[in-house]
Amino acid sequence: MSTSVLEKQAVLIVPSDSTPNHILQLSALDSQLFVRFTFEYLLVYKPSNGVDRASITNNVKSALGRALVPYYPLAGRVRSRADGSGLEVVCRAQGALFIEAVSNCTGSEFNGAPKRISQWRKFLSFDVADVLDGAPPLVVQLTWLSDGGATLAVGFNHCLCDGVGSGEFLNSFAELALGKRGYDELEPTPIWRRHLLDPVSFESTHDNSLSHPEFGSVADVCGFSSRYDRERLVPTSIVFDKNMVSELKKITKSTFTSFEVLSAHVWRSWARAMNLPSNQIVKLIFSVNIRQRVNPSFPSGYYGNAFVLGCAETSVGDLTENGLRYAAELVKRAKERVGNGYLREVVDSVSWNQETVDSVGSLIMTQWSRLGLESVEFGIGKPVRVSPVCSDKYCILCPVPSSITTVKVNLAVLSSAVDQYLYFLRNFYA
């Protein structure tokens, strides 16, 4: 039986109280080309006895309206500035979109990886193709499942907030739904202050791609890009528990963090499975939260984009032959480069040169496992699964709600490489 999702209502939710009527400037990091898309969470909740669906739905809608008072830019609309220098958000309390739906599927539909990359698209049915075309920057869909469970799917315009900011919003929104606090008592208190990331230098005349390989291009010596045009992407989802990560650390015979060894292992498995020539340069590009890595640190509650991209880069030959420790060392060095100077260079690059990421040879990774998504409880318990709405060629490290030390690696892999990728990923000594 095919999965059906039937919309019951779709309404704009405006802030429940008066909010400022003005235009806010977005930062250089908010305005960069790389974040002009919507990122989408899918939270799955198990069946609960005696749930009053109408009451829960009304609580969610009410809580959303209250959350949009302190987070009122999420009820605005993002557009380009008239002078083309960046983006801004027009705050007129236009509203966020709320959708309620029902589905004939059960929670078991979301075990493991989907069969197709867009299999769960209907659970966030409003798909924003252009984040600058007047669409609501926040979309929430509550879908009731046939077994009594539910899904909560949420789409955020990345120009307005990053993963950390979205996690803080969702947990505040959930607390409002449970009546734990009022919208003027949120912790942390949401803070705008996007001027903290204004460019401070004049237009750069040097090539920052030399010092920032995340913005540089590499030669496509094997038709890398064309393979993604020709081949089907196959979703994968593999769980790594604490013992498995500890085993990876043992292999390196060094003191790397869990992220360093796991990301290095995924990168090597992907590169080896792709069967690329040894002279093809490959990159692992990953987000680095800068809130506490710069001096002074960012204020608590800053929910704008406060991350830069770390980049580990090497040839396929070296990545394959030199082993996991070599790859983990590259990741570690890329992380260690991030500080005040690095941040300022990135701000200047994306402000003056409109730098963005070239996908040739790149595996892009982001970490959702430390955003608090597994704690979002709005009246039917905490989620039992967290995943992206749609699978993609970007690797996402998701939390596993049943174990805080376990991570789920989600990545859609080319059909010609997926079997080898899963083999290398599961066999640490291969």
Tens digits of per-residue pLDDT, 205-246? 444 544 788 989 999 999 999 999 999 999 999 999 999 999
Contact 245, 324 (CB under 8 A): no
Q: What are phi and psi of 12, to 5 degrees?
A: -85, 130
The strand pair at 22-25 and 385-388 is best described as unpaired
Question: Cα separation of 407 and 151, whole Å?
Answer: 20
Q: What are phi and psi of 233, to 5 degrees?
A: -90, 135
Task: Give the three-state DSSP class for 258.
Answer: helix
Question: Cα separation of 31 and 304, whole Å?
Answer: 11
Question: Cα separation of 29 and 26, whole Å?
Answer: 8
Question: Cα separation of 208 and 200, whole Å?
Answer: 16
Question: By C-alpha distance, which of 107, 116, 360 is closest to 236?
Answer: 116
State residue 202's pLDDT score.
Answer: 34
State residue 350's pLDDT score.
Answer: 86
Place of tokens 């680095």: 288
Which residues are within 8 A (CB) of 200 and not within 5 positions of it... i.e. 6 or more apart? Answer: 344, 347, 348
State residue 205's pLDDT score.
Answer: 42
Question: Cα separation of 167 and 169, whole Å?
Answer: 5
Contact 348, 356 (CB under 8 A): no
Task: Give the residues of the chain that fall short of pLDDT 70.
Answer: 1, 201-210
Task: Give the three-state DSSP class for 243.
Answer: helix
Amino acid occupying residue 91: C
Place of tokens 């991350």: 307
Question: By C-alpha distance, which of 325, 379, 402 is closest to 175?
Answer: 379
The strand pair at 395-400 and 403-414 is best described as antiparallel
Place of tokens 């699978």: 391
State residue 3's pLDDT score.
Answer: 87
Residues 27-82 pLDDT 10s: 999 999 999 999 999 999 999 888 999 999 999 999 999 999 999 999 999 999 99
pTM of the model: 0.95
State residue 1's pLDDT score.
Answer: 65
State residue 356's pLDDT score.
Answer: 85
Place of tokens 């008239």: 82
Question: Cα separation of 111 and 24, whole Å?
Answer: 41
